[in-house]
Amino acid sequence: MSKKIVLAFSGGLDTSFCVPYLRERGWAVHTVFADTGGIDNDERAFIENRAQELGVASHITVDGGPALWEHFVKPFVWAGEGYQGQYPLLVSDRYLIVDAALKRAAELGTRAIAHGCTGMGNDQVRFDLAVKAQGDWQIVAPIREIQKEHTQARAYEQKFLEQRGFGVRAKQQVYTINENLLGVTLSGGEIDQWRAPGEGARGMCKPRSEWPSQALRVKLTFANGEAVALDDEKIAGHKLLAKLNALFAQYGVGRGVYTGDTTIGLKGRIVFEAPGLIALLTAHRALEEAVLTKQQNRYKPEAARRWVELVYEGFFHDPLKADLEAFLASSQRCVNGDVTLETQGGVVNAVDVSSKHILNAKGATYAQSADWGVEEAEGFIKLYGMSSTLWAEVNRE
């Protein structure tokens, strides 16, 4: 095993399969787990023990939380748009995982990188393009390789591991589960078949029967569009998001079932849970709507949707993404203030907004009072609608 390869490792079925598969083909497998949140100490220990059990040459765990906040969460919240208006891009930690794997490969002096992405999903595009954008690397994808001969890849992986004495978690036999700081994504089983998700298809969000009886209220403080404090306590971004996840998951906030148009052309159906991100997006949008101009609020979603599409489809390192982020950052210079969120379960609302930048006319309130006269209002309406009015007059039979 003189050939070194770095495997992005999560301890799940796919990456667990990759270790013995690669070892049997002469690779010395060095695993990297980029801890981008969503797991506790027990799960972290399980992943490390799993790697050793499978016979890796070395294993390291990297703290990916700060990088995930800085390079994804901040611009994503600035953008304020989900993919196809729904999906909050929970798989975007893949790009930070690639960075961790490439750094480890450079330390070991190898140009070989492996991942456990399937040949049917979007993650293979994200991994491969993120690697290719950063140099000349050899990419090995064991799951894609076995799919040339085995149509039921997950069943084959499970049998492969069990024949070699490696157990498989019961939950992993049914669903593909991805957990990180951003939330939880579940696919497979009845989800793929457009049927109602089973009770096992649940991550951090509590079902309605377990929601607390008292409403939850929290205050978020924003500076230049970035959440910097929770209930007046300054806290690092990735830790703030983790706290929001814990708080709002108890109330079932941020859970959805979504069917999307994937990069490779298939329809993809998933269950996702993103309580913290949905809370952040709700607070940020409420503040932004109050402090941006009408033209900013109209145009910004167009740029935001393009940024989201680039990230979703694997173009995390495309220069257009950086160009759009420059615009998004500029739009946030007055997005400063406090937003109070409230939930009684399921849905979260922004109930209080405070900022010195709110575009509030001193002498007028919508539908209540005005500091202009009747003649000015009538003149504005006449000129504003002149084109449509003329069309109606000219073409009236």
Q: How far is CA 214 from CA 25, 63, 211, 277, in A?
A: 57, 35, 9, 22
Residue ranges making up the domain that contains 377? 364-397
Q: Of 250, 314, 292, 246, give the one whose Cα is nearest residue 80.
A: 292
**pLDDT tens digit sequence for 150-195:** 888 888 999 999 999 998 876 556 788 888 999 999 988 899 999 9
| H/E stretch holding 337 | strand 337-345
**15 domain residue, yes or no:** yes
**352 domain residue, yes or no:** no
**304 domain residue, yes or no:** no
**75 domain residue, yes or no:** yes
**Structural domain ending residue among the three candidates 173, 204, 231:** 173
Query: Would you state the structure tokens that stand for residue 2, as one six-digit string?
Result: 């003189």
Give the chain's domain count. 2
**pLDDT tens digit sequence for 333-362:** 999 999 999 999 999 999 999 999 999 877
Cβ atoms 16, 46 nearer than 8 A? no
Q: Is 257 helix (H, G, I), strand (E, B) or coil?
A: strand
**CATH assignment at residue 95:** 3.40.50.620
Predicted TM-score of the model (pTM) = 0.89
Full pLDDT tens readout for the chain, 397 residues: 569 999 999 998 999 999 999 999 999 999 999 999 878 889 899 999 999 999 999 999 999 999 999 999 999 999 999 999 999 999 999 999 999 999 999 999 999 999 999 887 889 999 999 999 999 999 999 999 999 888 888 889 999 999 999 988 765 567 888 889 999 999 888 999 999 999 889 999 999 999 999 999 999 999 999 999 999 999 999 999 999 999 999 999 999 999 999 888 889 899 999 999 999 999 999 999 999 999 999 999 999 999 999 999 999 999 999 999 999 999 999 999 999 999 999 999 999 999 999 998 777 676 677 777 888 889 999 999 999 998 999 998 7
Q: Is 113 helix (H, G, I), strand (E, B) or coil?
A: strand
Q: How far apart are CA 308 and CA 321, in angstroms?
A: 9
**Structural domain ending residue among the three candidates 122, 145, 173:** 173
Query: Would you state the structure tokens that stand for residue 15, as one six-digit string?
Result: 């990456």
**243 domain residue, yes or no:** no
Q: Residue 329 class from Cβ within 10 Å (0-12 exposed, 13-18 middle, 19+ buried)?
A: middle
Virtual torsion, Cα 383, 386, 389, 395, nearest 10 deg = 160
**186 domain residue, yes or no:** no
Q: What are phi and psi of 190, to 5 degrees?
A: -70, -20
**222 domain residue, yes or no:** no
**Structural domain ending residue among the three candidates 173, 200, 219:** 173
**322 domain residue, yes or no:** no
**pLDDT tens digit sequence for 3-25:** 999 999 999 899 999 999 999 99
Helices (H), the chain: 13-23, 41-54, 65-68, 74-79, 94-108, 123-132, 142-146, 153-163, 237-249, 275-291, 294-312, 319-331, 374-384, 386-394
Side-chain half-sphere exposure of 191, counting CA atoms within 13 A: 24
